[in-house]
Amino acid sequence: HDTLEELYKPYLNKPVSEEILKAMKAQAKQVLESKFKEQLPTGGELVGKNLLAFEVAKSYVTKALNHDIRTVRSGQLITPLQLEEELSGAVQLNVNGENISVNLKGMADRIDRLSNGTIRMIDYKTGSFDKKTAIKFVDEFDSTKADHAFQLLTYLVMFSSTSSVDAVQPTVFYLRSQQVEFPITVSQEKVKLENEELLSYGKERVTELLSDLFRKETSFSQTEDQMVCGYCDFKEVCQR
């Protein structure tokens, strides 16, 4: 994340050409090395496990840049508008007659404007890519496999509180996958929701989920899959 941020930073609000992306690729190893060294203990060297992790990270950065080169070659210039910037926004709920305002916060890894005018909100993922990014039925959205889609639609809801969403595409870059880019799409009755419709859908689902959380009669039970608890931010509250 840090390496891609640093590589793109000089080009904020400027269209990035194929030549610039190739220059970024040439610089990537050096930037990544300096980012790795910041994380190593004093005197630590890029050997053994650290070197393996470095090589993996290098392949992810290269994949992201190669993907952007393909995008530019397809005729879409990329203008980075935001890098690792906080998004925030409020969602208004009415739960059992009570008005509740919920503040949301998140961090979009990168927001670009493409030359066709589309605002592309990107989240980089280095983990598994067996997730649902193309949601075809409303029920699919409740699947745990749709968590990345939910995350990106929540970002879209936050982004829309300060910017217009005339043409917007939330997307995940799965840096382990050859395809790299997996746009978040939602279709209802085989019709793909675009822009304002996608935003309305996102708002509906976020509002629904938050309302459920605030509804006193909704009960929650601990997951049976205790492996998940190892990564859970709420395990202390939950007393697992």
List residues near ligand SF4 by CB under 6 A: 222-223, 228-229, 232, 234-235, 238, 240
Nearer to ligand SF4 among residue 9 and residue 235 (C-beta):
235
Closest contact distance (angstroms) between CB of 214 and ligand SF4 is 17
The alpha carbon dihedral of 41, 46, 52, 57 has a sign of positive
How many separate helices (H) and strands (E) can be counted in the chain?
7, 8
* Minimal distance, residue 172 CB to ligand SF4, in Å: 22
- Which of 67-73's residues contact partners 24+ apart within 8 Å by CB, and which partners? 67/173, 67/180, 67/181, 68/16, 68/21, 69/18, 69/21, 69/22, 71/114, 71/181, 72/16, 72/17, 72/18, 72/21, 73/18
Closer to ligand SF4 by CB, 167 or 232: give it: 232
Tell me the C-alpha distance between 118 and 206, whole Å.
23
CB of 194 to ligand SF4, least distance (A): 34
Q: Angle at CA 217, nearest 5°, toward 213 and 218?
A: 40
Residue closer to ligand SF4, measured from CB, 63 or 131: 131
Q: Tell me the closest approach of the beta carbon of residue 179 to ligand SF4, in angstroms.
A: 30
Which residue number, 45 or 220, has a Cβ lying nearer to ligand SF4? 220
CB-CB contact of 198 with 167 (8 Å): no
Give me the least distance between CB of 213 and ligand SF4, in Å please: 12
Give the shortest CB-223-to-ligand SF4 separation in angstroms.
4
Residue number, 128 or 162, with CB nearest to ligand SF4: 128
Which residue lies nearer to ligand SF4 by CB, 51 or 229?
229
User: Which residues are CB-contacts of 154 (< 8 A; sequence separation ≥ 6)?
Assistant: 104, 106, 202, 206
Please count the residues of the chain.
240
Cα distances (Å, whole numbers) of residue 220 to 171, 214, 223: 30, 12, 9
Q: Which residue, 51 or 238, has its beta carbon nearer to ligand SF4?
A: 238
In angstroms, give the least distance from the CB of 205 to ligand SF4: 20
